[in-house]
Homo-oligomer: A and B are copies of this chain.
Amino acid sequence: MREHTLPDESDTANRRRAGRPRSVILDHELIARAALKLLAEGGYAAFTMSALARSLSVSPSALYNHVNSKQELMQWIQELVMAGVDSSVFATLPLNEALFEWAQTYRDVFAEHAPLIPLIAVLPVSESPRTLEMYEEVAGGFVRAGHDQAAIVPAIVALESFIFGSALDATAPLDIFDPGQYTGKLPQFEGALEAQRATGKNSADAAFLTGLRAIIAGLLSTAAG
């Protein structure tokens, strides 16, 4: 997919550099990117060490010269993915707007890499400097807005929970709510479903925006000052 055919190109390129025959073919970044590509294209099921090795034109065991385990690879990917989340907005926008922008990039990034959610949501943050930096910026935003100090971490966690949950939901099949054989037996729910469909809006997106506005408003009104 896309315009690059990484494995072959880099292989050749590396071999061509005369005088540096052993220059790096595989590195940290290259491996993580290839893994991410695999994940994006085929989901978690497609992300095997064998498939990764194949996509890099190398044997599976060769990968273990560069990474200690699949789990460690996951952490590299976390780092890579978190780079896509824009938390710079906290320096320039008022808290409520900054939260709104930040949450959207955060959710979009993870909706693209849904298989990572259950893993990253539970991954310790200590090995991911980018994630920590993000927390620092978000926390700074709350502090400057005069938010109650003890309520900041719960607020961030609540937002993140909503974001991860929404990213998960964004990958659900579109017909996830189809009542199937039970059609006609759920008047209230089916009515609501129909009304929502009539708006023509994507259900997952509508839910995310509605919920995001609600939770931000709620958090800032109850615990500010």
Contacts and interface: CB of A to CB of B under 8 A. Distances in A.
Interface of A: 117-118, 121-127, 129, 132-133, 135-136, 138-140, 142-143, 149-166, 168-169, 171-173, 175-182, 186-189, 191-193, 195-196, 198-199, 203-204, 206-208, 210-219, 221-223
Contact of A157 (B138, B142, B204, B212): B204
Contacts of A218: 211, 213-218
Given A186-B135, A211-B219, A218-B218, A161 B157 contact: no
This chain: copies in complex: 2
A168 B118 contact: yes
Contacts of A157: 169, 203-204, 207, 211
A189 B136 contact: yes
B210 A179 contact: no
Contact of A188 (B122, B136, B150): B136
Given A150-B196, A150-B199, A162-B215, A121 B210 contact: no
Nearest to A122: B172
Nearest to A217: B218
- Residue with the greatest number of chain B CB neighbours at <10 A, chosen from A142, A159, A162, A214: A214
24 contacts: A121-B172, A124-B173, A125-B176, A126-B179, A126-B181, A132-B186, A136-B188, A136-B189, A139-B186, A143-B192, A152-B195, A153-B196, A153-B207, A154-B203, A155-B207, A158-B208, A160-B165, A161-B162, A161-B166, A164-B168, A165-B168, A211-B215, A211-B218, A216-B218
